[in-house]
């Protein structure tokens, strides 16, 4: 084994070398690196690194710390944390064989590589970058044979796009039906007063913009704009900070996005509430975060008072949607909610609409197109065929129907109100109602198609639901030929809702269910 000569001559003396009293991170945050634990807030990223957890010799731990100082000063905090995590994991594999880790050898690296699964082999690439950086900085702890090995190995990068290419139901893009399920659940819960305006706006912006949690966590009230378009219409815009661009600090570059009027109006209402909330907390309430933390913490850097961390904001979106119990038609289980799935959905839907790599890269805030080609490759078979048999099979899984089946009008919520009847001569020339509407007040939806996904709809047990299902499927097949898959699939979730009603009514009539809604 060839050991680095510097290690032989200066191994013990390195622990006596002084570290700087203070360093400045890439985002201009200052802290003392001498501590055994680095703990600070860098814009929207919380940093916590415990060097004692490495269980390495003092000289090796010091080398790792000095290497991470370079990353703190030149790279993002998230990147530095990722490097530390890989180093820590690698040292744990060595620890099983050595009581005190003095240096890292080629043998250690080969043993570590043998513990990695195929999906995680790229970890060795991250580790190689760091260890070679230690060597180039003249730091101790990595043997010459380890450096030689790293230079010879052909290391694979992170496998990109697999979840998109396979339309993975756990980590991949949401289907159109799943997206509509999320929207319907959020809208319904908000209308019932069970979903806050802030979370309502956040979910819709996630779906529309696909920005990263770190970007949403960086947005301030002042980034929202209202102006008049040339035709006199109100124009709503939102400046999105570009947080992952090399050479630029957080909130130094922005991309302006135009919002649809409905979301713009809701966002304006949310900002009005924020200005009242922060009137006495900040000298200028326009500097308030768009999605604030409940309270300000002492470690927040200047300009990020009351801002959530990216991690906290990501957990907010996950937790808030999990309470709605939105189900997937692909798995029959509750949707797996993560912020990255919203980004993947935006990219996939843009590709399905015919946009090229340059447009998709701009939408996802990428500086180049090297990571967006997967969206274009994944589109051909995303929107599959839905016939009657498949609709009946998927219907119970999707749980798209949220109303209540009734035997007849005598059980209707508005049984004494003839205007509550839902009729359509296209499906039943005799104008026999297919159900009743249980909502008091104006409804702007298009009956009867939209009724089947509405919680206020009360379909009759013997209503003409089969005719509705046949019409929707026939129309879908026609549009697949005369139009495109995006237009043809617009009513897919409604098809599943109608199919569920047809299936349940058949079960009740055939005595397969003791109760109408059991």
At residue 2 the predicted structure's pLDDT band, cuts being 50, 70 and 90, is: very low
pLDDT at res. 234: 94
Within 8 A by CB and 6+ apart from 49, the residues are 37, 38, 39, 68, 81, 84
Q: Tell me the pLDDT tens digit for each residue of 462-511.
A: 999 999 999 999 999 998 888 877 788 888 999 999 999 999 999 998 88
* 456/184 Cα distance (integer angstroms): 13
Which tops the pLDDT comparison, 149 or 385?
149
Which H/E stretch holds residue 228?
Answer: strand 224-228
- Element counts in the chain: helices (H) and strands (E): 19, 10
Which band of pLDDT confidence, cut at 50, 70 and 90, is reported for residue 194?
very high
Q: What pLDDT, on a 0 to 100 scale, did the predictor assign at position 372? A: 72
Rounded-to-integer distance, Cα 268 and Cα 271, Å? 5
- Which of 15-19, 195-199, 331-335, 471-475 is predicted with the least confidence, judged by mean pLDDT? 15-19
**Band of the pLDDT at 83, cuts 50, 70, 90?**
very high
Q: What is the pLDDT of residue 292?
A: 95
CA distance 192 to 195: 8
Residue 361 is predicted with a pLDDT of: 79
If you average pLDDT over each of 154-158, 312-316, 439-443, which comes out highest?
312-316
The closest alpha carbon to 324, from 337, 343, 342, belongs to 337
Q: Could you write out the DSSP letters of every residue in 103-151? A: -B-HHHHHHHHHH--GGGTHHHHHHHHHHHHHHHTT-SSB-HHHHHHHH
pLDDT digits (tens, 9 = 90+) for 200-248: 999 999 999 989 999 999 999 999 999 998 888 999 999 999 876 554 4
What pLDDT, on the 0 to 100 scale, is given for residue 3? 45
Residues 6+ apart with CB under 8 A from 454: 402, 403, 439, 445
Per DSSP, the three-state class of 325 is: coil
Could you tell me the two tokens for 469?
């299902």
Q: Which residues contact 146 (CB under 8 A, 6 or more apart)?
A: 104, 105, 106, 108, 109, 131
Span between the terminal Cα atoms of the chain, in Å: 72
**pLDDT band at 76, cuts 50/70/90?**
confident
Q: 162-377: which CATH topology?
A: hpI Integrase; Chain A (1.10.443)
Residue reference for tokens 């297919």: 434
Of 299, 298, 297, 272, nearest to 286 (Cα)?
Answer: 272
What's the CA gap between 358 and 61, in Å, rounded? 44
* Residue (of 193, 195, 224) closest to 290 by Cα position: 224
pLDDT tens by residue, 412-425: 999 889 889 999 88
For residue 97, what pLDDT is reported?
Answer: 60
All residues at 6 or more sequence positions from 274 whose CB lies less than 8 Å from its CB, including other chains? 221, 285, 288, 290, 292
Euclidean distance between CA atoms 400 and 460, whole angstroms = 17
For the chain, the average pLDDT equals 86
Residue 5 has pLDDT above 50, yes or no: no
Identify the DSSP state of 14: G
**Tell me, what's the pLDDT at 207?**
93
Q: What pLDDT, on a 0 to 100 scale, did the predictor assign at position 294?
A: 85
Most confident stretch, 319-328, 429-438, 441-450, 485-494: 319-328
Q: Would you kindly state where each structural domain of the chain is located, as residue ranges? A: 5-152, 162-377, 388-509
Rounded Cα gap, residues 353 and 161, in angstroms: 19
Q: Tell me if residue 239 falls in helix, strand or coil.
A: strand
CA angle 466, 471, 475 (to 5 degrees): 150
Task: Select from 406, 396, 398, 468 the least CA-distant residue to 438.
Answer: 406
Per mean pLDDT, which of 190-204, 360-374, 502-516 is the most reliable?
190-204
Our measurement of the distance from residue 458's CA atom to the centroid of its chain's CA atoms, rounded to an integer in Å, reads 35
Residue 71 has pLDDT above 70, yes or no: yes
What gap in Å lies between CA 52 and CA 48, rounded to an integer?
12
Burial class (CB within 10 angstroms; exposed 0-12, middle 13-18, buried 19+) of 177: buried
Please give the Cα distance from 62 to 82 (Å, whole number).
Answer: 18
Q: Mind listing the pLDDT tens digit for each residue in 19-29?
A: 888 999 988 88
Residue 66: predicted pLDDT: 92
pLDDT in tens, 111-170: 899 888 877 888 888 899 999 999 999 888 899 999 999 988 877 666 667 788 778 899
Q: Nearest to residue 145, comparing CAs of 342, 4, 331? A: 4
Least confident among 264-268, 383-387, 448-452: 383-387
Alpha-carbon span 241 to 205, nearest angstrom: 14
Question: 400 near 246, Cβ under 8 Å?
Answer: no
Cis, bond preceding 498 (omega within 30 deg of 0): no
**DSSP state string for 360-405:** HHHHTT-SSSTTTHHHHHT-TTSS----HHHHHHHHHHHT---S--
């Amino acid at each position: 084994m060839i050991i680095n000569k510097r290690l032989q001559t200066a191994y013990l003396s390195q622990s006596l070398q002084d570290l700087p009293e203070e360093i400045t991170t890439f985002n201009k945050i200052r802290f003392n690196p001498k501590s055994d634990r680095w703990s600070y807030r860098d814009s929207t990223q919380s940093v916590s690194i415990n060097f004692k957890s490495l269980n390495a010799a003092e000289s090796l731990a010091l080398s790792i710390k000095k290497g991470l100082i370079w990353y703190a000063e030149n790279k993002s905090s998230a990147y530095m944390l990722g490097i530390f995590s890989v180093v820590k994991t690698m040292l744990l594999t060595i620890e099983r064989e050595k009581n005190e880790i003095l240096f890292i050898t080629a043998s250690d690296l080969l043993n570590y590589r043998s513990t990695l699964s195929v999906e995680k082999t790229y970890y060795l690439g991250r580790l190689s970058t760091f260890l070679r950086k230690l060597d180039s900085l003249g730091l101790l702890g990595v043997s010459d044979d380890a450096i030689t090995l790293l230079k010879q190995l052909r290391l694979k990068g992170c496998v990109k796009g697999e979840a998109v290419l396979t339309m993975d139901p756990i980590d991949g893009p949401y289907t159109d039906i799943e997206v509509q399920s999320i929207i319907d659940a959020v809208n319904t819960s908000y209308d019932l007063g069970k979903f806050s305006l802030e979370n309502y706006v956040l979910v819709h912006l996630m779906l529309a913009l696909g920005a990263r949690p770190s970007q949403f966590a960086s947005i301030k009230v002042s980034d929202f704009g209202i102006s008049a378009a040339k035709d006199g219409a109100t124009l709503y815009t939102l400046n999105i900070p570009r947080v992952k661009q090399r050479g630029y600090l957080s909130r130094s570059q922005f991309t302006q996005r135009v919002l649809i009027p409905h979301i713009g109006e809701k966002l304006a209402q949310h900002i009005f509430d924020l200005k009242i909330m922060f009137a006495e907390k900040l000298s200028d309430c326009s500097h308030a975060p768009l999605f604030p933390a409940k309270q300000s913490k002492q470690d927040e850097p200047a300009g990020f008072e009351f801002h959530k961390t990216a991690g906290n904001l990501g957990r907010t979106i996950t937790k808030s949607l999990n309470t709605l119990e939105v189900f997937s038609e692909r798995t029959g289980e509750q949707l797996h909610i993560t912020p990255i799935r919203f980004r993947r959905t935006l990219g996939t839907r843009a590709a399905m609409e015919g946009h090229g790599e340059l447009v998709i890269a701009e939408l996802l805030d990428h500086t180049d197109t090297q990571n967006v080609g997967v969206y274009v490759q994944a589109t051909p078979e995303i929107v599959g065929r839905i016939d009657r048999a498949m609709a009946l099979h998927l219907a119970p899984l999707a749980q798209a129907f949220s109303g209540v089946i009734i035997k007849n009008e005598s059980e209707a919520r508005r049984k004494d109100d003839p205007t509550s009847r839902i009729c359509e001569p296209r499906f039943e020339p005799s104008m026999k109602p297919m159900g009743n509407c249980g909502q008091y007040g104006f409804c702007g939806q298009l009956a009867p198609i939209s009724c089947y996904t509405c919680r206020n709809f009360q379909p009759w047990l013997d209503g003409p639901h089969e005719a509705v299902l046949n019409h929707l499927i026939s129309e879908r097949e026609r549009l697949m030929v005369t139009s495109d898959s995006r237009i043809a699939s617009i009513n897919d979730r409604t098809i599943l809702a109608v199919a569920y009603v047809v299936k349940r009514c058949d079960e009740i009539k055939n005595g397969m269910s003791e109760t109408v809604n059991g």
